[in-house]
């Protein structure tokens, strides 16, 4: 059913017509990366927001900008939904009947069980669903924020339903590999649990501490901003991520997030107790173990070891 990709080679399009629905940070990065790597013959952009469509035209991110989502999806071989998870159901309903037989629908959502439940019911027979989650991003949003190397050397997790067409899975895998990603396949439920701890709970905690600061009395708050280089500013970077996207993530991965948050809370209570009791040995042991975890991430190639708290001075404007 899916196009033959057995002879795929760099620079030879593996997709004829690629439709990207939602041109935010991720969608616009896919458009840029797909064009740079010549992955698709034609790139079609669809977005519900007229301002975004206008900007996509100005930036010339796509070959065609469709006036409606249905028109963007019409005749496409691969349709990627790059909208907040909470909007997937409505978008799938809007485009479902306009999809051609043999089309593949995919997405980029940070949760997967809920996304499959939202999209699958709206797809007609003969259309394959192969959900994907590129584990990449920045704290910025919108079509201007994307860039073509965002997915390079990053993981992309595919969570195909059990009955998914193997040809369709292979095509989506080839697509992400052509964008420079490493692809991994797992079940939606397992994805949601792993991402709860690697991504969702870290974001939640960052939002929370920045929220705690927002509640401080004005005088203290302005000092916190001033002296933020001591650690706090790194949390604000995470907590500057797109609010709509993250609201939807927490609403749609509730169980796994609450489970992992429970563990975090237990550990924090123990740590609080160590401080209250002056247990220096316990603190030192924990802080030593966490260093080892860091080394593991650098060794896996998912991070640079270059020091970053001391941001390159040249990048930071002088305070008068």
Residues numbered 34 to 73 that lie near a copy of itself (CB under 8 A) are none
Stretch that binds a copy of itself, among 66-74, 87-95, 162-170, 271-279 (CB under 8 A): 271-279
Cα–Cα distance, 227 to 182 (Å, whole number): 39
Strand partners, 104: 78, 128
Stretch that binds a copy of itself, among 5-13, 56-64, 101-109, 200-208 (CB under 8 A): 200-208
Contacts (CB under 8 A) with a copy of itself, residues 209-268: 209-216, 220, 223-241, 243-244, 246-248, 250-251, 254, 257-258, 260-261, 263-265, 267-268
Backbone φ and ψ for 149, nearest 5 degrees, come out as: -105, 10
Query: How are the residues of the chain apportioned to helix, strand and coil, as percentages rounded to the nearest 5?
Result: 50, 10, 35
The answer to whether 18 touches 76, Cβ cutoff 8 Å, is yes
Q: Name which of 9 and 316 has its Cβ closer to a copy of itself.
A: 316
Q: Name which of 41 and 140 has its Cβ closer to a copy of itself.
A: 140
Stretch that binds a copy of itself, among 30-38, 45-53, 69-77, 270-278 (CB under 8 A): 270-278
Work out how close the CB of 172 gets to a copy of itself at its nearest, in angstroms, rounded to a whole number: 18
Stretch that binds a copy of itself, among 5-13, 63-71, 163-171, 286-294 (CB under 8 A): 286-294
Work out how close the CB of 27 gets to a copy of itself at its nearest, in angstroms, rounded to a whole number: 15
Q: Which long-range contacts (CB under 8 A, 24 or more apart) does 312-318 make?
A: none
* 157 is an interface residue for a copy of itself by CB under 8 A: yes
64-65: strand order across its sheet: 64-65, 40-46, 15-21, 78-81, 104-107, 128-129
Work out how close the CB of 265 gets to a copy of itself at its nearest, in angstroms, rounded to a whole number: 7
Q: 42 Cβ partners below 8 Å, 6+ apart?
A: 16, 17, 18, 63, 64
Q: Name which of 51 and 283 has its Cβ closer to a copy of itself.
A: 283
* 154 is an interface residue for a copy of itself by CB under 8 A: yes
* 195 is an interface residue for a copy of itself by CB under 8 A: yes
Which structure tokens are listed for 54?
Answer: 């206008």
* 315 is an interface residue for a copy of itself by CB under 8 A: yes
Contacts (CB under 8 A) with a copy of itself, residues 88-147: 110, 135-140, 145, 147
Number of residues in contact with a copy of itself under rule CB under 8 A = 117
Torsion sign, CA atoms 150, 152, 155, 156:
positive
Which DSSP category does 49 fall into?
Answer: -
* 164 is an interface residue for a copy of itself by CB under 8 A: no
Of 172, 30, 189, 19, which is closest to residue 91 (Cα–Cα)? Answer: 19
DSSP string computed for 180-229: TPEEEE--HHHHHHHHIIIIIHHHHHHHHHHHHHHTS-HHHHHHHHHTGG
Q: Name which of 46 and 143 has its Cβ closer to a copy of itself.
A: 143
Q: 27 Cβ partners below 8 Å, 6+ apart?
A: 20, 21, 45, 47, 80, 82, 108, 143, 146
Task: Name which position in 12, 117, 198, 259 contacts a copy of itself (CB under 8 A).
Answer: 198
Stretch that binds a copy of itself, among 32-40, 48-56, 118-126, 154-162 (CB under 8 A): 154-162
Binding mask 173-192 for a copy of itself (x = CB under 8 A): ---------x-x--------
Which structure tokens are listed for 169?
Answer: 């899975």
Q: Name which of 113 and 128 has its Cβ closer to a copy of itself.
A: 113
């Amino acid at each position: 059913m899916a196009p033959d990709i057995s002879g795929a080679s760099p620079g030879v399009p593996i997709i004829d017509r690629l439709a990207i629905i939602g041109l935010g940070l991720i969608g616009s990065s896919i458009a840029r990366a797909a064009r740079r790597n010549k992955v698709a013959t034609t790139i079609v952009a669809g977005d519900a927001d007229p301002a975004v469509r206008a900007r996509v035209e100005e930036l010339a991110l796509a070959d065609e900008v469709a006036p409606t989502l249905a028109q963007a999806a019409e005749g496409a071989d691969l349709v990627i939904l790059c909208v907040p998870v909470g909007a997937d159901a409505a978008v799938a309903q809007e485009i479902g009947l306009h999809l051609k037989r043999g089309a593949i629908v995919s997405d980029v959502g940070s949760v997967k069980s809920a996304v499959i439940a939202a999209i699958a019911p709206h797809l007609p027979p003969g259309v394959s669903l192969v959900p994907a989650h590129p584990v990449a991003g920045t704290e910025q949003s919108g079509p201007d924020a994307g860039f073509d190397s965002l997915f390079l050397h990053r993981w992309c997790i595919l969570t195909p339903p059990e009955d998914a067409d193997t040809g369709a899975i292979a095509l989506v895998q080839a697509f992400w590999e052509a964008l420079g990603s490493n692809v991994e396949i797992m079940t939606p439920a397992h994805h949601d649990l792993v991402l709860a701890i690697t991504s969702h709970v870290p974001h939640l905690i960052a939002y929370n501490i920045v929220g705690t600061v927002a509640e401080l009395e004005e005088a203290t708050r302005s000092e916190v901003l001033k002296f933020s280089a001591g650690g706090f500013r790194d949390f604000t970077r995470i907590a500057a991520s797109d609010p709509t996207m993250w609201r939807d993530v927490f609403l749609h991965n509730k169980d796994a997030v609450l489970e992992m948050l429970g563990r975090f809370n237990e550990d924090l209570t123990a740590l609080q107790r160590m401080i209250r009791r002056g247990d220096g040995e316990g603190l030192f042991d924990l802080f030593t173990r966490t260093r080892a975890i860091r080394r593991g991430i650098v060794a896996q190639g998912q991070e640079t070891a270059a020091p970053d708290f001391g941001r390159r001075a040249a990048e930071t404007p002088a305070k008068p």
